[in-house]
Chain A
Amino acid sequence: MKLLSKLFSDLFIISALFLLFLLIIEDLRPGFVTLWFDLRILLVVSFGAGLIALLFSKNYDKI
C-alpha cells in the first residue's frame, strides 16, 4: 500500500509539474502543445493519480 501510494504520488507530482511546464510553453507560443495534444488528458492523469495516492495513503494510515 505504501509503495502504491508513493508510485501514484510520484505520477501526480511529475504529471502536475509537466502540465504546468506545457501550459507555460503554450502561453509563450500558442499552439505549440494544443495543436498536437489535448492538455485535458494530462489534467485527468494528474488529478486521478493524486486522488488514488491520497486514497492509498489514507488506507495505509488506517492500517
Chain B
Amino acid sequence: MSQSISKIILWSWRLVLFFWVLIFSLWLLWQNLVPSGYLKLNQDFCKPTVFISNLYPENRVGDLEIDEQGRCFQRFFDEPVYFKLKIPRSFEGARLKIYYQNENQPLFQVGLMKLKQNSTDWQFQLKPIENQIFDNLTWPKLTFTGLTLWQKEKRFETIQEFVNNLPANQKVATFYYKLAPEAIKNQNNVIVWNQKTSLQDVDYIIAKYQTPKIFGDLKVTEIDFLITPEFSDGRRIEFMFSAPEMIRNQTQIKIYRIEAELTREPLTWENFKITIKNFINQIKEKL
C-alpha cells in the first residue's frame, strides 16, 4: 500500500475516533440534562438496573424470587424497608406506580424520605398505598379526584357538599386529608384516623386515598410526590415502604414492579445556561 493511502486511512480513522468521542460526550450531556423534563424509570426485579435499587435492609427483605408465572419479585416481612432512585439531576415531581401482592396487611404506605441532616433525622412525606380496613367497608362510598368519602348512613350526594356542610353533631375521621379549619363546626367531632380508631365511633371517613386497581392477581397504586430540595440532592431520592405492625400481623408483601415517572421543567435556552453554570460551579467547588 502506498504511503499516501496509508496516511489518508490513518487520518480518516483519527477523525472517526474524534467524532465518536465528541458525539458520545454530547450524548452523555443530553442524557444528564433530561431536556424533555420527563424521565421514566423501572424496577422489575428481573433485570438489574442502576436507577432503582432493590429493597433493603437485607434482614427485613427476601432474596429476588420468580413466581410460577415467571415474574420476578421481592418480598418484605418487616418494616420499614427502603429503596433508592439514582437520578441524573433534580426533579420537581415523582409519580410512583407500585405493582404488589398484599394478602392481609391492613395498612400499607409509602414515604418519600427527607435528606438527613444528622443520624437521628428521620422525616418522611407519607402517602397511603392500601388501606384494607377502608376497602372492606360496606358503607356508601363517594370518590372524586383522589378523594374518597365513606358515610355510615348516606346523607350527602357529593364530597363537595359534605366538605361545605360538615355535620356538627356527627363524628368525622380524616385520613391523609386536612379539612379547612373554617369548615369545622365542632373540633371535637373531627379526628385523625389511625388503626386503633373504632369504626363504631365514626360516622364519616374522608380520605385522600383510592382503593388500588386490580391488575390480574396484582394490585396497582399510583402515588404522587412533590420533590422539594429538602427531599433530594439531585442525585438520589430515597423512598420507604411502611406496613405498621407487620411482624405482629405475621404478614408479608411482595413487590413485583416499581415504576417512577419523574418530572421537571423542560429545558429551554435560558435554563440551559443556568444549568451549565451550576454544573461548572459544582465542579469548581470540588476542585
Contacts and interface: CB of A to CB of B under 8 A. Distances in A.
Contacts of B32: 32, 35-36
Contacts of B14: 10, 14
Interface string B79-108: 000000011100000000000000000000
A18 B25 CA distance: 9
A36 B31 contact: yes
B86 A36 contact: no
Contacts of A33: 28
A18 B279 contact: no
Interface of A: 2-3, 6-7, 10-11, 14, 18, 28-37
A28 B128 CA distance: 38
Given A28-B286, A35-B51, A36-B28, A3 B6 contact: yes
B176 interface: no
A57 B31 CA distance: 39
B235 A30 contact: yes
A14 B17 contact: yes
A38 B87 CA distance: 16
Contacts of A7: 9-10, 13
Given A3-B9, A7-B9, A36-B32, 7 more contacts: A7-B13, A10-B10, A14-B14, A28-B282, A29-B282, A35-B51, A36-B31
B221 to A, nearest CB: 27
